[in-house]
Amino acid sequence: MSYRYTVQNHTYSFPDLKTLLAKASPYRSGDVLAGLAALTYEERVAAQLCLADVPLQAFLNEAIIPYEHDEVTRLIIDTHHSEKFKIISHFTTGELRDWILQEEVDSLVLQNLALGLTPEMVAAVSKLMRNQDLIAVAKKCEVITRFRNTLGLKGRLATRLQPNHPTDDPKGIAASVLDGLMYGSGDAVIGINPATDRPADAIKLLEMLDYLRDQFAIPTQTCVLCHVTTALAIMAQQAPVDLVFQSVGGTEKTNQSFGINLSMLQEAYEAALALNRGSLGTNVMYFETGQGSALSANAHGGVDQQTCEARAYAVARHFKPLLVNSVVGFIGPEYLYNGKQITRAALEDHFCAKLLGLPMGVDVCYTNHADVDQDDMDNLLTLLGVAGCNFIMGVPGADDIMLHYQSTSFHDALYARKVLNLRPAPEFEQWMQNQGLMNDKGQLLRVNKGHPLLQNAF
């Protein structure tokens, strides 16, 4: 089906929904690189106006990647909840935008609607929204998950303690873990990006983290971010795997480039559930995503990078994850050129994922060759905190010495919690107080050399 819109006596034509979505997307370098971006500002506005008039039903009738050729499309269509969709089935994209901004459409309404939405619908509506709109709606979406603590509650901001080391040295990692815990980091997960993907090394790191967590009864979960096939192998050896990690994309070909498919994720999900290691809940998956991954794998199929990203959330949602993380600035300037593009993409990712019912966190980050600096990241961190982001990263000094990119430090998380009156996950907060690391006002306490964590951790 083709789409047309006339602006000042000039009629813009868009041959299909896929093209219309791409042309309506805010400007970013990845879509330009792919040849999908609007050629002029006027064409982009025409596409947005045209997209606003598209009935939501059209997204169910016109697959942007054919059903027969892509298992992510099949997942989206086959799991769409028609009953929950009924409440908005008569809306156009523009009417959906206006409706979700209304005061009476609260967290409960949006939670009930989530399974009635497809990624293409939420991607489309995000293209019609200014940053303020993306923040306002995302803030209403409370998405709560549990494993050994409770994440996503309103008024809370969790952190992933990321103690990476360039050679996976256990002493270096342990020092970073203790440092982070002292700063109240690690309630989302204590998660290591390993330098290698060898099963024996993954088990070694997992056993070290599990020993520390168990010794001090820390109400959190640990993860070594190895490939899902490695996780399957070490779970078969009864390694202490709390969460299974995997990067996922929004097309079947993107996932093939990661060496995965939906069946493999299902096998890992069931294996993690069978370990039964959670004390409060059964959310056992941790996914990472990011705009541009489909383009970098030459697997976007003519779909713009933001819509591809939203389709990745359909993959994540199917496995009821504890955490989903958009590594928004990690992919580099070829896809998100500067601070403005990274900020916009992060707010879109957070909004789309929350609207689909996902526990979304964002790695507020950039690579050193992007046109961005720490002031841009401070702004983005604050915006995401206002928007109710579930979690951010806690990296020693904000400089990841294994992955070589800039993220948020333990101190950055403290800043966000303080200025926005946010607190850690409740179980973790209580543990901090019991350990003498935090008072009941959420203020960190000074720790001397005799603290049990420093004396007895390893």
**Cβ density class 433-449: b for 16+ within 10 Å, e for less:** eebebbeeebeeeebee
Beta bridge partners of 326: 289, 362
Burial class (CB in 10 A: 0-12, 13-18, 19+), 267: middle
Is 102 annotated to bind a ligand? Reply is: no
Is 194 annotated to bind a ligand? Reply is: yes
Please tell me the number of Cα atoms within 13 Å of 314 on its side-chain side.
Answer: 30
Is 89 annotated to bind a ligand? Reply is: no
Is 162 annotated to bind a ligand? Reply is: yes
30: CB partners within 8 A, 6+ apart: 291, 292, 295, 305, 334, 335, 336
DSSP string, 106-125: -HHHHHHHGGG--HHHHHHH
8 Å CB contact between 407 and 398: yes
Is 33 annotated to bind a ligand? Reply is: no
DSSP string, 16-74: SHHHHHHHHSPP-HHHHHTT-S-SSHHHHHHHHHHHHTSBTHHHHHS-SS-GGG-HHHH
The tokens of 25 are what?
């997307």
Is 199 annotated to bind a ligand? Reply is: no
CA torsion angle for 277, 440, 414, 392 (degrees, to 10)?
30
Q: CA–CA separation, 25 vs 390, rounded Å?
A: 25
Q: How far is CA 257 from CA 229, 264, 294, 301, in A?
A: 14, 14, 9, 14
How many residues comprise the chain?
Answer: 458
Is 402 annotated to bind a ligand? Reply is: yes
8 Å CB contact between 365 and 327: yes
Is 161 annotated to bind a ligand? Reply is: yes
Is 66 annotated to bind a ligand? Reply is: no
Q: CA–CA separation, 129 vs 317, rounded Å?
A: 23
Is 288 annotated to bind a ligand? Reply is: yes
Could you list the residues known to form a binding site for substrate, using ranges: 160-162, 193, 288, 363
Binding annotation: 160-162, 193-194, 246, 288, 296, 363, 402
What are the binding residues for adenosylcob(III)alamin? 194, 246, 296, 402
